[in-house]
Amino acid sequence: MHIEKKYISNPAEFLLKNNVLAEIAFNEIEDSIISMKSVDQEIFIINNSTKNGNGVVPIKEKCYQILEEKYVWYREKPLDYLSEKMGGPIDVYKMFGSNPYFNVGVEFETGNISSAHRSMNKLLLGLHNKELHLAILLMPIRSLSYYLTDRVSNYEEIEPYMPLVSDVPFILIGFDAEGFSPDVPFLAKGNDGMSTRAKHKWKDNFL
Amino acid sequence: MHIEKKYISNPAEFLLKNNVLAEIAFNEIEDSIISMKSVDQEIFIINNSTKNGNGVVPIKEKCYQILEEKYVWYREKPLDYLSEKMGGPIDVYKMFGSNPYFNVGVEFETGNISSAHRSMNKLLLGLHNKELHLAILLMPIRSLSYYLTDRVSNYEEIEPYMPLVSDVPFILIGFDAEGFSPDVPFLAKGNDGMSTRAKHKWKDNFL
C-alpha cells in the first residue's frame, strides 16, 4: 500500500519541519501504510473482479497492528471531554517524548461519509482541547474504495472540507493499492477473519 | 413545539444584537418551531406510549413548510464549493436584504449523530466560503428524541462539539414538545404521510 494523496495543513507542515517528534509520528504512520503488502509480494494487490468485493476492516486492522506492535501506539484513547456515547475514543494514539508530551491521534475511517465527518470532528475536538497536538485521518482514495465495502468514504469526498482544518495541525492521507488483480483472495468483510490477538488498549495500560 | 436549549456562538450573538437581518432570521426560525402545534391544540403533544414510536421527518417537514410558506425560505440551496455527491445542498436557505445580501442556512437534522456532524460541517463550509453569513442547526433534545425514530441524533450529542464552531456565527437549537400523551396519533415514519405539496426549491427559482 502507499500514500497516493495527502493534505497537510500549514500548521502541520510547520510541525513536520520543525518538530522531530511530529516527523517521527508521520514516518511511523507512513511506514504502517507502506508495510501493508500482499502475502509473498512486495506490493499490495487488491481483488478487482467485482465492485465492493473487499472488506475495508482488514486493511485498518493490519495498519493498526503495525502501529501497535512495531511502534507501540495504543488503541481507543478516550478524550477527556467526550464520554463513550459522544463520539467514542480516538482510534489509535501515541504520546511522543515527555514533559511536555507530543500527542498524536489517528483515525482510519471505515464508515460512510457521515462517519468520516464525525471522525474528523473528533480529532478536531482533541486538537482544540490540546489533548492532541497532531491529528491524522486515513482513508482510501476513491478509485480504491470502488473495490471496498459499499459506501465506504474516500479521500476525495472529505477533501472539499479541508478548509475547515487549515488552521490546526491536521493531515489527511489517501492510500491506494499498487496492484489490481482478479486472482488474489478478497479481503474479508465485517469482522470475519480478524485475528483474536490482544489489542494494545489505552485503558489496559494507563487507566 | 418550543426551543428548550440553544447554543449561540459569540459571533452569532454579536450579529443578533447588531444586525437586524440576523435578528429577523432567528425570529423566523423560532416562529417556525413555536408554530408547530398538535391539531386543535395550543401546544405540540407527542405520543409517548413507546420508545422510538414517532417519525421525525413530519416535524422537519412542518417546520420547513412554515419557513417556506410564511417566510419565503427556499429548499436545497447548493453550495458553490460542493457537488451534489459531496454533502448535497443546504436544507433551507434565505437571502435577507440586498447589496450585500445576508444569507442564512438552516439544517434540520433527522439522521444519526454521524449525519449531524456532516450537516454541521456543511454549514461550516458555507460560512467559511462566505456563502452563508449565519448558520443554524435544529435538533430534538435527548428526552424528545427518545420517542422519535431510533438513533436520531439529539442536541446533547452534538453540544460537546460546539467549541469547534465558537469562532463563526453558528446557532444550535434543541427543540422539545410541550405535551406527552399516549392518546395522540403517532407521527408517521419514513416519508409516509408527507403531503405532495410543491417545495420551494432553490433551483426552480434561481438556477
Model confidence over B118-140: pLDDT tens digits?
A: 999 999 999 998 989 999 999 99
Tens-digit pLDDT string for chain A (207 aa): 999 999 999 999 999 999 999 999 999 999 999 999 998 889 999 999 999 999 999 999 999 999 999 998 988 777 776 665 566 788 888 888 887 899 999 999 999 999 999 999 999 999 998 989 999 999 999 999 999 999 999 999 999 999 999 999 999 999 999 999 999 999 998 764 445 556 777 667 665
Partners of B128 on chain A (C-beta within 8 Å) are 163-164
Chain B residues 93-112 within an 8 A CB cutoff of chain A:
111-112
Residue B149: pLDDT over 70: yes
A19 CB near a chain B CB, below 8 Å? no
> Which of B24, B121, B134, B43 has its CA nearest to residue B82?
B121
A115 CB near a chain B CB, below 8 Å? yes
* Interface contact A160-B87, CB threshold 8 A: yes
Q: Is B76 exposed, middle or buried (0-12, 13-18, 19+ CB in 10 A)?
A: middle
H helices within B95-151, ranges in order? 113-128, 142-145
Q: Give the pLDDT confidence score for residue A42 in this predicted structure.
A: 92
Phi, psi of B94, rounded to the nearest 5 degrees: -145, 140
Q: Give the pLDDT confidence score for residue B27 in this predicted structure.
A: 97
Partners of A126 on chain B (C-beta within 8 Å) are none
Q: Give the pLDDT confidence score for residue A9 in this predicted structure.
A: 98
Residue B188: pLDDT over 80: yes
Residue A109 annotated among the catalytic residues of the structure:
yes
Smallest CA–CA distance from A124 into chain B, residue: B164
Q: Give the pLDDT confidence score for residue B197 in this predicted structure.
A: 59
pLDDT tens digits for range B53-90: 999 999 999 999 999 999 989 887 777 766 655 667 88
User: What's the rounded Cα separation, in Å, for the pair A97 and A68?
Assistant: 17
- Quote the percentage of chain B above a pLDDT of 90: 71
**pLDDT classification of B192: cutoffs 50, 70, 90:** very low
Q: Give the pLDDT confidence score for residue A193 in this predicted structure.
A: 44
Strand residues in chain B grouped as ranges (E)? 2-8, 45-47, 74-77, 90-96, 102-108, 134-140, 170-176, 179-181
Partners of A157 on chain B (C-beta within 8 Å) are 85-86
How far lies B138's CA from each of A73, A158, B12, B29, B63, in Å? Answer: 38, 23, 15, 9, 10
Q: What distance lies between CA B77 and its chain's CA centroid?
A: 14
Considering only the beta carbons, identify the residue of B121, B157, B161 that sits closest to A161.
Answer: B121
* Interface contact B86-A163, CB threshold 8 A: no
Smallest CA–CA distance from A154 into chain B, residue: B86
Sequence-distant (≥ 6) Cβ neighbours of residue B69 within 8 angstroms: none
Please tell me whether residue B116 adopts helix, strand or coil conformation: helix
Tell me which of A71 and B192 has the higher pLDDT. A71
A114 CB near a chain B CB, below 8 Å? yes
**Which of B28, B68, B107, B109 is an active site residue?**
B109
pTM comes to 0.91
Q: Give the pLDDT confidence score for residue A39 in this predicted structure.
A: 87
